[in-house]
Structure 1
Amino acid sequence: MRAVKYNVYDEVEDRPSNQDGVVSVTGGYQPSGEAERRLSEKCVKGVVAVLLLAAAVAVVAAIFTLHFQFKGTWYQDSAEVDIAVRKLNDTLMQFKDANDENSAKIDIVLRELKDSIRQLNDVNYGKFQDIEENLRHLKESKSKESMILESITNPPSSCNEINRRNGTDKNGIYKLQDAEGNVFHTYCDMSTAGGGWTLVASVHENNMKGRCTDGDRWSSEQGNNVNLNGDGFWENRAIHGSPASATSDDYKNYAYFTMNASDVMIWQVPNDTPMPRFESSSFLKYHTTSGFLKQYGGNFASLFTNHYSMKAKQYKPNADNGPAIPISWDRGNNEELLTMYPGSRVLEEVDAGYIQFRTINWEQSAYALCPGVKMKSGKKNPEHPCVGSTGYNPDGNYCGDFAARDFETAAAEWQLDERLISSVVMIFYR
Structure 2
Amino acid sequence: DSLLRVCLAQFNARNCKEVKDKYGQTENGLYYLTTATGVVYQTFCDMTTAGGGWTLEVGNWANRKTFGTVEAATDDDFKNPGYYDIEAEDMSVWHVPNNTPVNHWNLAAIMRYHTDRHFLHLYGGNLYQLFHSYPVEYNVGAHLSDNGPSIPIVYDLGDKESTKNVYGPYSGGENEGGFISFRAINHERAATAICSGVKPKGGNVEHYCIGGCGFFPEANPLQCGDFTGFAWNGYGTHVGFSASKQMLESAVLLFYC
Same fold (TM over 0.5): yes
**C-alpha distance in 2, partners of 1:156/1:169?**
15
- Aligned-residue offset at 1:178: 1.2
Task: Verify: 1:299 aligned to 2:126, yes or no.
Answer: yes
Paired amino acid for 1:403: T
Residue number in structure 1 paired with 2:211: 388
- Partner residue of 1:195? 52
Superposed displacement of residue 389, structure 1 = 0.3
Change in CA separation of 1:309 and 1:342 when aligned onto 2, cut-off 3 Å: closer
Aligned CA-pair RMSD: 1.7
Q: Residue 104 of structure 2 corresponds to which residue in structure 1? A: 277
Spell out the pairing of 1:136-155 with structure 2 (5 A cutoff).
Answer: 155=12
> Equivalent residue for 1:400?
225
Larger radius of gyration: 1
Inter-partner Cα distance in structure 1 for 2:151 and 2:140:
23
Q: Secondary structure at the match of 2:96?
A: strand
Q: Deviations over 1:159-202 (max 9, x none)?
A: 10011023332111100001121110000011111110000013
Please give the secondary structure, in 1, of the residue aligned with 2:17: helix
Among the aligned pairs, what percent are the same residue?
38
- Rounded to whole Å, the distance in 1 between the matches of 2:126 and 2:102 is 24
Residue from 108, 113, 116 that aligns with 1:286: 113
Say whether the 8 Å CA contact 2:140–2:191 is kept in structure 1: no
Alignment of 1:130-141 (within 5 A): none
Give yes or no for the alignment of 1:171 onto 2:31: no
Q: Which amino acid aligns with 2:184?
A: T
- Paired residue for 2:141? 315
Q: Which AA in structure 1 matches 2:94?
A: W
Residue identity opposite 1:271 in structure 2: N
The residue type paired with residue 333 of structure 1 is D
Per the TM alignment, residue 316 of structure 1 is displaced from its structure 2 partner at its CA by 1.2
CA displacement, residues 23-45 of structure 1 (integer Å, 9 cap, x when unaligned) = xxxxxxxxxxxxxxxxxxxxxxx
2:198 matched residue in structure 1 = 373
**Separation of aligned partners in 1, 2:88 and 2:168:** 35
Aligned with residue 73 of structure 2, among 228, 238, 246: 246
Contact kept in structure 1, 2:114 and 2:155, CA below 8 Å: yes
Q: What TM-score does the superposition give when structure 2 sets the normalisation length?
A: 0.91
SS in 1 for 2:206: coil
- Structure 1, unaligned stretches of length 5 or more? 1-146, 203-217, 219-233
The number of aligned residues is: 246
Q: Name the residue aligned to 1:348.
A: 173
Larger RCO: 1 or 2 (CA < 8 Å, sep 6+): 2
Q: How far did residue 363 of structure 1 move?
A: 0.9
- Return the alpha-carbon distance in structure 1 between the equivalents of residues 81 and 151 of structure 2: 24
Amino acid of the structure 1 residue aligned with 2:58 = A
Deviations 1:30-74 (CA, angstroms, capped at 9, x unpaired): xxxxxxxxxxxxxxxxxxxxxxxxxxxxxxxxxxxxxxxxxxxxx
1-side partners of 2:46 and 2:230: how far apart? 28
Query: Is 2:183 aligned against 1:338?
Result: no
User: Retained in 1: the 8 A contact 2:96–2:105?
Assistant: yes
Q: CA deviation at 1:297?
A: 0.8
In structure 1, what is the equivalent of residue 3 of structure 2?
none
Provide structure 2 residue ranges, at least 5 long, that are not aligned to the other structure. Answer: 1-6
Normalised by the length of structure 1, the TM-score is: 0.55
What amino acid maps onto 1:361 in structure 2?
Answer: N
